[in-house]
Amino acid sequence: MSTETNKTSLITPFNVIAFVICSVGLYLTVLRFTGGLAAVSNLTDYNPWGLWIGFDLLCGVALAAGGYVTSSAVYLFGLKKYHGAVRPAILTAFLGYAFVVIALHYDVGRPWRLVYPLFWQQGPTSVLFEIGLCVFLYLSVLFLEFCPAALEWLGLKKLRNLLHSATIALTIMGVVLSTMHQSSLGALYLMAPSKLHPLWYSGYLPVFFFVSSAVAGLSMVIFEGTLSHRWLHHKMDNHYLNEHDNFVFSFARAASWVLLGYFFIKVFGIAADNNWKYLGTPMGSWFLVEMGVFVALPCLLYAIGARERNLALCKWTAALAVLGIVVNRFNVSMVAFNWQLPAAERYFPSWHEVWISIFIVTLLVLTFRFISTRMPIFYTHPDYQDEH
Superfamily of domain 33-340+351-379: Formate dehydrogenase/DMSO reductase domain (1.20.1630.10)
- pLDDT value of position 134: 87
Question: Whole-angstrom Cα distance, residue 378 to residue 247?
Answer: 14
3-state secondary structure the chain: CHHHHHHHHCCCHHHHHHHHHHHHHHHHHHHHHHHCHHHCCCCCCCCCCCHHHHHHHHHHHHHCCHHHHHHHHHHHCCCHHHHHHHHHHHHHHHHHHHHHHHHHHHHCCCHHHCCHHHHCCCHHHCHHHHHHHHHHHHHHHHHHHHHHHHHHHHCCHHHHHHHHCCHHHHHHHHHHHHHHHHHHHHHHHHHCCCCECCCCCCCCHHHHHHHHHHHHHHHHHHHHHHHHHHHCHHHCCHHHHHHHHHHHHHHHHHHHHHHHHHHHHHHHHHHHHCCHHHHHCHHHHHHHHHHHHHHHHHHHHHHHHHHHCCHHHHHHHHHHHHHHHHHHHHHHHHHCECCCCCHHHCCCCCHHHHHHHHHHHHHHHHHHHHHHCCCCCCCCCHHHHHHC
Tens digit of each residue's pLDDT, the chain (388 residues): 334 444 447 788 889 999 999 999 999 999 999 999 999 999 888 788 899 999 999 999 999 999 999 999 999 988 888 888 899 999 999 999 999 999 999 998 888 877 777 776 556 677 888 888 888 899 999 999 999 999 999 999 999 999 989 999 999 999 999 998 899 999 999 988 889 999 999 999 999 999 999 999 999 999 999 999 888 888 888 888 888 889 999 999 999 999 999 999 999 999 999 999 999 999 999 999 999 999 999 999 999 999 999 999 999 999 999 999 999 999 999 999 988 888 888 889 999 999 999 999 999 999 999 999 999 999 888 877 766 5
Question: Whole-angstrom Cα distance, residue 106 to residue 34?
Answer: 11
CB atoms within 10 A of CB 79: 16
Q: What are the residues facing 337 on neighbouring strands?
A: 196
Domain ranges of the chain: 33-340+351-379
- pLDDT value of position 386: 67
Phi-psi region of 67 (alpha: psi -120 to 50; beta: other; left: phi over 0): alpha
